[in-house]
Amino acid sequence: MQFRFSDSLKNIRPSEIRELLKYASAKDFISFGGGMPNPLTFPMNDIREIMDYVLTDYGALALQYGNTGGLNELRTEIKKLVLETEKIKTDEKNIIVTSGSQQGLYELAKVLVNPGDAIITEEPTYVGAISAFDANKAEMHSIQMDNEGMRTDLAEAEIKKLTSEGKKPKFIYTIPTFQNPTGITMSLERRKHLVEIANQYEIPLVEDNPYGELRYSGERLPMLSTLDKDSNVIYLGTFSKVMCPGLRMGYTIGPEEFVNKFNLLKQALDLSSSTFSQYVAWQYLKRGIIKQQIPKSIELYRKKRDAMLKALDEYFPETSTWSRPDGGMFLWATVDKKINTTELLKDAVQEGVAYVSGNAFSPARIQSNSMRLNFTFSEEDQIYRGIEKLGNLIGKKAGVVQSQ
């Protein structure tokens, strides 16, 4: 018998990152590929203690089915957290606890998009968002970025064009702070302009902020959610990078009308996110452990970012350029135009080093000479050795190609 699969998976690309994770465990292999937080940051002892407490004091509830929208006590803590960290004023009824923000991305697309509907994204953008939007058959219109983030002038022109063709985009997706994959932070001016565009054309903004707390330098900028007075913004948050990803805890914040639809869909999807994980996350926030955890992660990651920037200065050929992120987990390098980074990856893996090639993050598939480099996972000496290997390889390839 042959399965007759639905069309919904047709466009989804197999994850280059998942393939790479296979190599990450091989001895001596240096992977700049994954997007995993460093396990040294996991608050192991605190979580062990919290789990014990939850089972002892709340076992009957924590192991039971829960509300679709999420544990009320956790939503109250999330409300306090986003106010304290990002100055976002919200209410429990506007918050839904999700199984990671990845679920938020999938669900919001399901709630808003009909097959073929246009949406706006950054170019490049988060690979998991591309999968979630592809699975819902959204037509992605990706907007070029520069050092200040999404080129909002180009976004406006694209929205104007699409609207005049009767294809007004359903939403605008952005990762304004320490973007995945580029590490770039959108400037204040662009943030304001994007909110203005969203209001003018009445298009919801989706702001995804998994890395905002991981700042190593520079000043915090206001989130779109606080700049927008018309409540046009859907905000995605997660505990993956500031606690651990294994509990799969994230949250979506939005206008009540949107949240109600989202809840309806979530009932069909999983009834609710893990009640046990929610109790653990609740205690993690309530006890203030997150506030001790974040500075530790920042201290660890800042050194690694600095090490990678130094190694790039030293080892990458002069024809290359790269971003200098103020936070997050990634930087984005662009190499000689003649080098295809997807092809180069095979040679890099042979040399014992990996990255994710640019086109994995490109809705328009136009990032063929770029790569995303993760700096949070490897040891500092691995960062130097890995970047040296990559630099040599790029230099060699550029030379070979040029001499042909």
Which residues would be at the binding site for ligand PLP (CB under 6 A)?
35, 100-102, 126, 128, 175, 180, 208, 210, 238, 240, 245, 250
Q: How far is the CB of 196 from ligand PLP (least distance, A)?
A: 23
If phi over 0 gives left and psi between -120 and 50 gives alpha, with beta otherwise, what is residue 307?
Answer: alpha
Q: Which residues contact 136 (CB under 8 A, 6 or more apart)?
A: 8, 106, 109, 110, 113, 115
If the CB atoms of residues 159 and 329 are measured against ligand PLP, the closer one turns out to be: 329
Own/partner pairs for 77-84, CB < 8 Å, 24+ apart?
A: 77/281, 77/282, 77/285, 77/286, 78/237, 78/251, 78/285, 80/285, 81/285, 81/290, 82/235, 82/237, 82/253
Q: How far is the CB of 204 from ligand PLP (least distance, A)?
A: 17
If the CB atoms of residues 101 and 273 are measured against ligand PLP, the closer one turns out to be: 101
Q: How far is the CB of 212 from ligand PLP (least distance, A)?
A: 11
If the CB atoms of residues 82 and 394 are measured against ligand PLP, the closer one turns out to be: 82
Distance CA 385, CA 382 (A): 5
If the CB atoms of residues 206 and 393 are measured against ligand PLP, the closer one turns out to be: 206
Structure-derived torsion over alpha carbons of residues 42, 45, 49, 52, reported in degrees to the nearest 10: 80
168 C-beta neighbours (distance < 10 Å), count: 15
Distance CA 390, CA 356 (A): 13
Residue of closest CB approach to ligand PLP: 100
If the CB atoms of residues 16 and 208 are measured against ligand PLP, the closer one turns out to be: 208
Cα distances from 308 to residues 23, 346, 357, 383, 404, in angstroms, run 21, 22, 17, 6, 32
If the CB atoms of residues 204 and 210 are measured against ligand PLP, the closer one turns out to be: 210
If the CB atoms of residues 101 and 278 are measured against ligand PLP, the closer one turns out to be: 101
Residues 224, 174: contact at Cβ < 8 Å? Answer: yes
Buried b (16+ CB within 10 A) or exposed e, 322-353: bbebbbbbbbbbbbbeebbbbebbeebbeebb
Q: How far is the CB of 15 from ligand PLP (least distance, A)?
A: 12
If the CB atoms of residues 126 and 316 are measured against ligand PLP, the closer one turns out to be: 126
If the CB atoms of residues 290 and 339 are measured against ligand PLP, the closer one turns out to be: 290
Distance CA 60, CA 54 (A): 9
Name the residue type at position 36: M
Q: How far is the CB of 207 from ligand PLP (least distance, A)?
A: 10
Q: How far is the CB of 126 from ligand PLP (least distance, A)?
A: 4
Q: How far is the CB of 35 from ligand PLP (least distance, A)?
A: 4
Distance CA 328, CA 215 (A): 7
Q: Tell me which residue has tokens 């294809």.
A: 167
Locate 109 and state its tokens: 């697309």
Q: How far is the CB of 205 from ligand PLP (least distance, A)?
A: 15
Distance CA 180, CA 208 (A): 10
Which residue, 217, 228, 181, is CA-closest to 86? Answer: 228
Distance CA 273, CA 99 (A): 5
If the CB atoms of residues 35 and 169 are measured against ligand PLP, the closer one turns out to be: 35
